[in-house]
């Protein structure tokens, strides 16, 4: 069943605003970019902007939510049946999106990335069937521990220009997590 026109228009507006913000970020700091500039580059009205977003941060969060949905769907594909294949899929995904991550880092938006990363990754790990233990402590703290560690490794890997291959970084993470 196809989407109603208003939903399609809403998605087009969101995509245009997201693209405009990231285009502006190539030459200007996040803090100095105005809503007016974003709407002008996106070709949308301020009213359309405010129907979809309240702040510039919301634009980043919206795009991150879309990316994390895409990542999490890849992590549950039939080929991703164990921790090692999921780790490789994780780093492959972020290698594909390294330019976006680099833009966020350079724009000092790492805290937003980290917050969204933890929300989505911890939720993913909470729903995994291959937990290490049935202990309530594992359920409560292990997803946080994994998300924080993966995030720091990811940021360091991106900051270093992804020198290590996906296989090398995946194997390293898989090895250090004792899996």
In whole angstroms, what is the distance from residue 103 CA to residue 100 CA?
A: 5
Output the pLDDT for position 129: 47
> What would the pLDDT profile of 8-45 be if each residue is shown by its tens digit?
888 999 999 999 999 999 999 999 999 999 999 999 99
More confident residue, 60 or 174: 60
Indicate whether 24 and 5 sit together in one domain. Answer: yes
Output the pLDDT for position 12: 93
Output the pLDDT for position 161: 95
Indicate whether 45 and 104 sit together in one domain. Answer: no
Indicate whether 10 and 22 sit together in one domain. Answer: yes
* Interval 105-132 mean pLDDT: 81
Mean pLDDT lowest among 115-119, 126-130, 141-145, 160-164: 126-130
**DSSP state letters, 93-114:** HHHHTHHHHHHHHHTT-HHHHH
Indicate whether 153 and 122 sit together in one domain. Answer: yes
CA–CA distance from 83 to each of 117, 139, 153 (Å)? 18, 17, 16
Indicate whether 168 and 107 sit together in one domain. Answer: yes
Indicate whether 94 and 33 sit together in one domain. Answer: no
Q: Where residue 126 falls among pLDDT bands split at 50, 70, 90?
A: low
More confident residue, 174 or 41: 41
Q: The tokens 């998605």 sit on which residue?
A: 11
- What residue numbers bound the domain in which 149 lies? 55-179
Indicate whether 124 and 145 sit together in one domain. Answer: yes
Q: The tokens 């507006």 sit on which residue?
A: 13
Residue 140 has pLDDT above 80, yes or no: no
Q: Where residue 123 falls among pLDDT bands split at 50, 70, 90?
A: confident
Q: Where residue 178 falls among pLDDT bands split at 50, 70, 90?
A: low
More confident residue, 142 or 117: 117
Indicate whether 130 and 50 sit together in one domain. Answer: no
| Residue 121: CATH number of its domain | 1.10.357
Query: How many structural domains comprise the chain?
Result: 2
| Residue 23: CATH number of its domain | 1.10.10.60
Structure pTM? 0.85
> What would the pLDDT profile of 51-110 be if each residue is shown by its tens digit?
999 999 999 999 999 999 999 899 888 888 888 888 899 999 999 999 999 999 999 999
Indicate whether 69 and 138 sit together in one domain. Answer: yes
Indicate whether 172 and 89 sit together in one domain. Answer: yes
DSSP secondary structure letter of residue 54 = S
Indicate whether 47 and 72 sit together in one domain. Answer: no
Indicate whether 20 and 39 sit together in one domain. Answer: yes
Give the contacts of 128 (CB within 8 A, at least 6 positions apart): none
């Amino acid at each position: 069943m196809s989407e109603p026109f208003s939903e399609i228009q809403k998605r087009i507006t969101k995509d245009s605003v997201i693209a405009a913000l990231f285009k502006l970020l190539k030459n200007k700091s996040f803090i100095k970019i105005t809503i007016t500039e974003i709407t002008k580059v996106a070709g949308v009205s301020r009213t359309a902007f405010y129907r979809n977003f309240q702040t510039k941060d919301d634009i980043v969060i919206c795009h991150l939510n879309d990316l994390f949905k895409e990542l999490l769907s890849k992590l549950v594909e039939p080929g991703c049946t164990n921790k090692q294949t999921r780790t490789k899929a994780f780093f492959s995904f972020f290698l594909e999106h390294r330019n976006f991550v680099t833009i966020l880092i350079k724009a000092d938006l790492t805290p937003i990335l980290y917050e969204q990363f933890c929300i989505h990754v911890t939720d993913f790990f909470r729903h995994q069937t291959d937990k290490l233990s049935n202990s309530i402590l594992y359920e409560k703290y292990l997803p946080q521990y994994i998300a924080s560690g993966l995030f720091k490794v990811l940021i360091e890997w991106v900051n270093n220009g992804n020198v290590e291959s996906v296989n090398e970084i995946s194997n390293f993470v898989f090895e250090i997590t004792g899996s």
